[in-house]
Structure formats: structure tokens, C-alpha cells
Amino acid sequence: MNEKIAALQQSFEAELAQVSDMAELESLRVGYLGKKGKMTELLKGMGNLSVEERKTIGAETNELKNQITVALAEKLEAMKAAELQKEIDELPEFDVSMPANMARGSYHPITLVQRQCEQVFRTMGFHLEDYAEIVTDYECFESLNIPKFHPARDMQDTYYLDNGQLLKTQTSAAQNAIYRKYRDDLVNNGVPIKAVFPGRCFRNEATDACHENTFFQMEGMMVDKNISISNLIYFMKTMLSEVFRKDIKVRLRPGFFPFVEPGFELDISCLICGGEGCPSCKHSGWLELCPCGMIHPEVLKAGGIDPEEYTGFAFGLGLTRLAMMQYGIKDIRDLNSGNLTRLSQFTDDE
């Protein structure tokens, strides 16, 4: 072998043995195979050789070039493998004989309350509806008798999408679609519309212990001939007595919502003192729980239902509020905290 080539081979091997990281390996590669590398220089020098010499030396040079290329690739692979092994070695010890962490999960308080309510309404013949979280302005406001620039919108600022849709501020946003879905059965077959719709609602709120930008409601409606406020009171009282597993007294106070007429705030007798008066109910004996009312004729019309012939009630039960009452949760923000230790303390025994 040509002396120069042999010397280069030796020096490469010696240098390769010294390489301790990938950066050094790369500079070694450049030093030999790069544009100004030693191998390239060697090849350039071949112009002065005779044809015969060029043949043998050329072959030897190429051979060495291949050897160097392979050796560099192998070294790179070995270094990567060593790095991986190092990472594996540094992983914490894993003892397969340790007992598994068998802590059982728990349902979210809102899920529990929602399921209870759904169950009660189902047994009373209500359909359970599912609906979108992103809705149109028509669904959330216009169809509910809240035209553009109506002051009732001020209380319900929300998150708007570029296409004009919005995150619904109230489960009432599903009312119009539900009337349309069941309208034919009502008109043609005389089947009353009875539906509940639980869902997540969003508002642009400054959060504190009582306010959240994301919360849950359950909307409910019943439409038929001759539906009156007594039907509303009966269904609400039955449902709440089932959920709280005791006889609940209810009372109605006037309340304004553009989509009901008359509109009410439904209060229940205080769960703590039973109506005697205590700090929880501010000594009134009553807790405000659920806005409701008789569906406004314009809202029925928007749903394709003739208000001369049919009447109905609607309510918007605050599931978040109900869960807080049921489980004694004082700060609404706990519910969205994702803090499992905190949340499971309310529902561990379920």
C-alpha cells in the first residue's frame, strides 16, 4: 500500500479511537471526507502520477475512503446506542413486585348530579337530548326572543368565533332545534314534547368563588295543549324531591327572561334548616335554584308551533349550582380545577 495512504489510515484509526462525543465525530468526518479533508487532498494530488500508479493508488484511496465512511457510520450508531442505554440506565428503578396503586377513580360531582336529574326526568317520560356547544346567534338569542341589541344580551357576553358562531351561554340555545325535532309528533300524533337537555355553557365572566366562565345547566321543556304553571310546579317539585331524597317545598317569584311569559325564579325550601331560617339561606328559609316560566308565544312560533293551540313550560336548572348544594362545595372554581384529590373528596363514597 502506498505509504501516504497507510499513514492516513493509521492516523484516522488513532483519531477515531479518541473520539468521545458526536461533535468530535463530526469534525473528524469533515477532517477526512469534507471538501478540504485529508482524503480529498489525497485524491487531488493524484494528477501528478503516472497512469499505472493512478490505477493502484486510486483504488487504494477509494478503498480507504469507503473504510472511513463505514467506520464513521458504525461509530455514530454505537454512540447513539450508548446514549440511549445511558437514558435507560438513568430511569428510576421499577420494581414489578410492588403492589399497584389501586385507588379507584370517582365521578365528577356535576356528572353525578346530572345523571340523577336525567334519571328522574326519564322516568317521567322526558327525552334526553344532546346538543352542540358551538351554536348560532339565532339559536342562542334570536329564536329565544332576544333580538340584536336587546339589553338581556348584556348579561350573556360570550366567546365568538370568526364565523359569527358562539359558545352557547345557556342551554336554552337548544330549545328551537328541539321544538322542530318533535313538532310533527306533537301536531300530527298529539304526542307532547317533553325533553331535557344538559350541557356546558360559557360566559365571559370575571371568576370568583361564585362565578365561572364555564358551567353546566339542564334545560327542560314540556309543550302540549293546556299546559299550565301547575304542571311546571309539579314536575320541578317531583324532580327536586327525588334528587335530594326528601320532600322539597317550592315557591315561585316573578323573574324576567325574554323567552318566557310569565317568567319565574323557583326557590326551594332550605336544605339545611328545612325552611326555619339559617345562615345558609340568609335566614329566609328559601334557596334560589331554578329560573323557569311559560314559553313565550314568539318562541313557540319560531319553533314552528302554533301558540294559539299549544302552551308549554321551560326551565333552566343550574346543574353546577345543584352540585355545589348537594356536595357542600363552597368555591365554584374547584369544579373546573381538575384537582382530583379535591374533587374526589366530595364523591368518594359514590
Interacting residue ranges for ligand DAH, rule: CB under 6 A = 170, 172, 219, 257, 260, 263, 291-293, 314-316
Minimum separation from the CB atom of position 146 to ligand DAH (A): 10
Smaller CB separation from ligand DAH, 19 or 167: 167
The least CB distance from residue 306 to ligand DAH, in Å, is 20
Q: Is 128 helix (H, G, I), strand (E, B) or coil?
A: strand
Residue among 28 and 140 whose Cβ is closer to ligand DAH: 140
User: Which residue type occupies 111?
Assistant: T
Residue 250 or 343: which CB sits closer to ligand DAH?
250
Cβ proximity to ligand DAH, 286 vs 313, nearer residue: 313
**Minimum distance, C-beta of residue 264 to ligand DAH, in the bound complex (Å):** 8
Residue whose C-alpha is closest to residue 219's, from 293, 304, 125, 111: 293
Tell me the residue nearest to ligand DAH as measured from the CB.
316
Task: Write out the three cell numbers for 247.
Answer: 320532600
**Lookup result for grid cell 435507560:** 88
Q: How far is the CB of 217 from ligand DAH (least distance, A)?
A: 6
Going by the DSSP 8-state scheme, the letter that residue 233 receives in this structure is: H
How many angstroms separate the CA atoms of 199 and 176, rounded? 15
> Closest separation between CB of residue 169 and ligand DAH, Å?
7
Euclidean distance between the first and final Cα of the chain, in Å?
Answer: 84
d(CA 337, CA 100): 26
One DSSP character per residue, 260-279 reads: EEEEEEEEEE-TTTTTS--G
Say which residue the cell 329565544 belongs to. 144
> How far apart (Å, rounded) are the C-alpha atoms in residues 64 and 57?
10
Looking at the Cβ atoms of 38 and 180, the one nearer to ligand DAH is: 180
If DSSP codes are grouped into helix, strand and coil, which group holds residue 250?
strand
Q: Which residues contact 28 (CB under 8 A, 6 or more apart)?
A: 12, 15, 16, 19, 72
**C-alpha dihedral sign at 108, 111, 116, 117:** positive
**Min separation Cβ 277 and ligand DAH, Å:** 27
Adjacent-strand bridge partners of 317: 218
The least distance separating ligand DAH from the CB of residue 302, rounded to whole angstroms, comes to 14
Nearest alpha-carbon partner for 153 in 167, 142, 164: 142
- Nearer of residues 215 and 286 to ligand DAH, judged by Cβ: 215
What are the Cα distances from residue 7, in Å, to 14, 26, 30, 42, 213? 11, 21, 18, 12, 75
**At closest approach, how far in Å is the CB of 243 from ligand DAH?**
18
Distance CA 316, CA 28 (A): 74
CB of 241 to ligand DAH, least distance (A): 20
Task: Give the residue with the Cβ less far from ligand DAH, 15 or 288.
Answer: 288
Q: Which is nearer to ligand DAH, 172 or 311 (CB)?
A: 172
109/199 with CB nearer ligand DAH: 199
SS3 2: coil
